Amino acid sequence: MYKVFLNDLPIILSTKSNYGEKYTNFPIKKTNLKWLIRQIKQGAVLYVNLYHKNEKKLIKHLRRKLKVITAAGGLVYNDKGEALFIYRNGKWDLPKGGKKRFEKIEAAAIREVEEETKVKNLEIDQFLQVTYHIMKRKGKYRLKETYWYKMKTSFKGELVPQKEEGITKVKWKNAEKTDKALQKSYANIRELFIDQTIPESDI
C-alpha cells in the first residue's frame, strides 16, 4: 500500500478493489488520472483508492501517467536530539530538493540540507522512506518522489535559511516544539515522524 498526496489529501494505492466504505475505488491501469485529480480538487471525491492486483505495479503505472521529479531530503538530529526544520510558504517543513542529473540520491539529500540550512558535518544514519506528492509545474501535473534519510550532525554553528528558495527560518526543535511544528506542516512530513523516537534534550 502507498499514499500519494495531492495537497494534504492522500490517494491510496493498494491491491484491494474495495478499500473501505467511504472510498471510491478505481483501477489504476484504466483510470484517467488528470480527470481524477480535477475531481479531487473540486471536492467531488475525497477518499480515493487506486488498485491493481500486483502491488509491484502500482507505482509503475502511476509513473506512466505522470512525469517523475526525483528529490531527496533529510530528517536531521543534532547532539541534543533536536530535529532540524525549515519554514517556507507558511509551513514548517524539512530540508529537501531536486536531485541533479547523475547525482547519487544520498549525495543530493546531504547537499540540499546543507544548501537550505548551512548545516555541515552531516552523516546519514538510515534510509527512511520515499514520499509521493502530486504537484503542478509549468501547467502540468508531476509526481514528486522524495527520498528521505535520517541524518545526524554535531554542527553547532549558525543556521542560515536559503532565502532564494523561499525559506525564511531554520530552527532546531526539541520533542515538544516538533509536535507543535508538525501541526503546521504537511501530511507527508508527518508521515516521516511515525515510529521516530525524538530524544528529549537533557539541557
pLDDT tens string for the chain (203 positions)? 999 999 889 999 999 999 999 999 999 999 999 999 999 999 999 999 999 999 999 999 999 999 999 999 999 999 999 999 999 999 999 999 999 999 999 999 999 999 999 999 999 999 999 999 999 988 899 999 999 999 999 999 999 999 999 999 999 999 999 999 999 999 999 999 986 644 444 33
Q: What does the pLDDT read at residue 200?
A: 43
pTM here is 0.90
**The three cell numbers locating residue 192:** 516521516
In the DSSP assignment, the letter for residue 41 is H
Query: Going from the N-terminus, what domains does the chain have, and what CATH number goes with each?
Result: 2-65 (no CATH), 68-192 (3.90.79.10)
User: And the C-alpha cell for 26?
Assistant: 478505481
What are 29's three cell numbers? 491501469
What are 22-25's contacts with CB under 8 Å, separation 24+? 22/47, 23/47, 23/48, 23/49, 24/48, 24/49, 25/49, 25/50, 25/51
Of residues 66, 63, 62, the one with CA closest to residue 26: 62
Buried b vs exposed e over 4-15: b needs ≥16 C-beta within 10 Å?
Answer: bbbeebbbbbbe
